[in-house]
Amino acid sequence: MKDTQIKKLIEAEKKRQKKVINLIASENYVSKDVLEALGSELTNKYAEGYPRKRYYGGNENIDKIEELCRKRALELFDLAEGSAGAQAGKWHVNVQPLSGSPANVAVYLALVPPGGKIMGMSLDQGGHLTHGHKVSITGKMWVQVPYGVDKNTEIINFDELKAKAVAEKPNIIVAGFTAYPRAIDFKKFREVADASGAILMVDMSHFAGLVAGKEYPSPFEYADIVTTTVHKTLRGPRSALIFAKKDARELDKKIDKAVFPGMQGGPHMNQVAGVAVALKEAKTSAFKKYALQVKKNAKVLADELTKFGWRVVSGGTDSHLVLVDTWMNGEKGKNGRGAVTGKEASDRLEKAGIIVNKNAIPFDARPPADPSGIRLGSAAETTRGKKEKDFKKIAEKIDKVLRGEW
């Protein structure tokens, strides 16, 4: 690279990534092949439209790439014609969304009239901005009907959820989170959607890799729409997919129209190619082993931190994600744990080479900029080959750092 300023910064970032322990729950490390696709000449090409229906010439290779990417996406989740299982042939996928937020907005644009209701988990209980939060376009164009977790169990209370859905009649219900460590009961969400006449959308961005590895319940039996980013547990480039059930409602056609021309212009075809590469990788037995290890490692992290005396939200994890209450009502317990704010925890850990993010815990009394907890994830370090014994050491180090003994 001739641009030495940028080259130096890329090199510095590469070094940083190698040096730290990365516990950001939404990050991962892509393969060299994915990087190669991202850095390819595909970035030069405009391809507005869809395969064989483009607005520019010269798309014969691009069409093949997009079709291969779609095929691989459907195959990975057993949705392609001829796949094993009841969902084979019943789904369409759009591989053009630039990332998770535009993907979610495209779904609402397609299926919820302006001013309609999105029932989504509140941000402060583990939801995402694009699940209808007021600072996001999804809370300005549409109205959020928020739901959360039970105060005691910190797990979704389906009776409350159902009562609220029936009373509010949202147009769409979103299941899927950025800081909820537990497995989601999609069947129950389906029942709530049916009882309230809503479309059921699952945002599986965080746990898509675990679904692919069959280590987390699959949403496809119950959902109408499934969105996902590709760059978290699925270990692909920054990008997103929207799956739509094919039936008389024509959700598939509405989604395609909302993505292009509704939301976006030309797709980033280098990204689409990178997604295709990652989806092929995720279909291997090595990836299945990876998904299992991700879960095992997260469980070790949750169990060890609990043993040390830290409070793990909901008492554990069924995924790659662990939410830790480091503040614990501001009281330092007899064992010396507690009374560390999320920001302080994240800053101290960063100084010790562990990268996490500060995070609100359900019913957090502290402000979002300095909340009561931190969110940890095992996906990135598992990609780097770490196993249970390594995560035990990581938990020990986190404990020491938070107690000020590092």
Which residues are identified as catalytic? Answer: 46, 48, 203, 229, 232, 238
Q: Smallest distance, Å, CB 107 to ligand DSN?
A: 15
Residue number, 223 or 323, with CB nearest to ligand DSN: 323
Q: Smallest distance, Å, CB 319 to ligand DSN?
A: 12
371 near ligand DSN, judged by CB under 6 A: no
Residue number, 26 or 383, with CB nearest to ligand DSN: 26
Hey, which residues between 110 and 129 contact ligand DSN (CB under 6 A)? 128
Hey, which residues between 169 and 198 contact ligand DSN (CB under 6 A)? 178
**Quick check: 204 and 228 in contact, CB under 8 A?**
yes
Q: Smallest distance, Å, CB 129 to ligand DSN?
A: 7
Site track for ligand DSN across 280-319, x = CB under 6 A: ----------------------------------------
Residue nearest to ligand DSN (CB): 26
Degrees, nearest 5: CA angle 202-67-90: 45
CA distances from 360 to 129, 180, 323 (A): 13, 11, 9
Q: Is 295 exposed, middle or buried (0-12, 13-18, 19+ CB in 10 A)?
A: buried
Q: Which residues, listed in sequence order, are joined to residue 355 by a DSSP beta bridge?
A: 22
Hey, which residues between 94 and 113 contact ligand DSN (CB under 6 A)? 100
Pairing of strands 53-54, 21-22: unpaired
State the number of binding residues for ligand DSN (CB under 6 A): 4
Q: Is 280 exposed, middle or buried (0-12, 13-18, 19+ CB in 10 A)?
A: middle
Residue number, 100 or 209, with CB nearest to ligand DSN: 100
Residue number, 104 or 196, with CB nearest to ligand DSN: 104
As a 3-state breakdown, the chain gives helix, strand, coil percent values, each rounded to 5, of: 45, 15, 40
Residue of the chain from 26, 196, 239, 293 that contacts ligand DSN (CB under 6 A): 26
**Quick check: 78 and 88 in contact, CB under 8 A?**
yes
The alpha carbon of residue 271 and the mean position of all alpha carbons in its chain are separated, in whole angstroms, by 17
Alpha helices in 150-232 (DSSP H): 158-168, 186-196, 208-212
Which residues of this protein are in contact with ligand DSN, per CB under 6 A? Answer: 26, 100, 128, 178
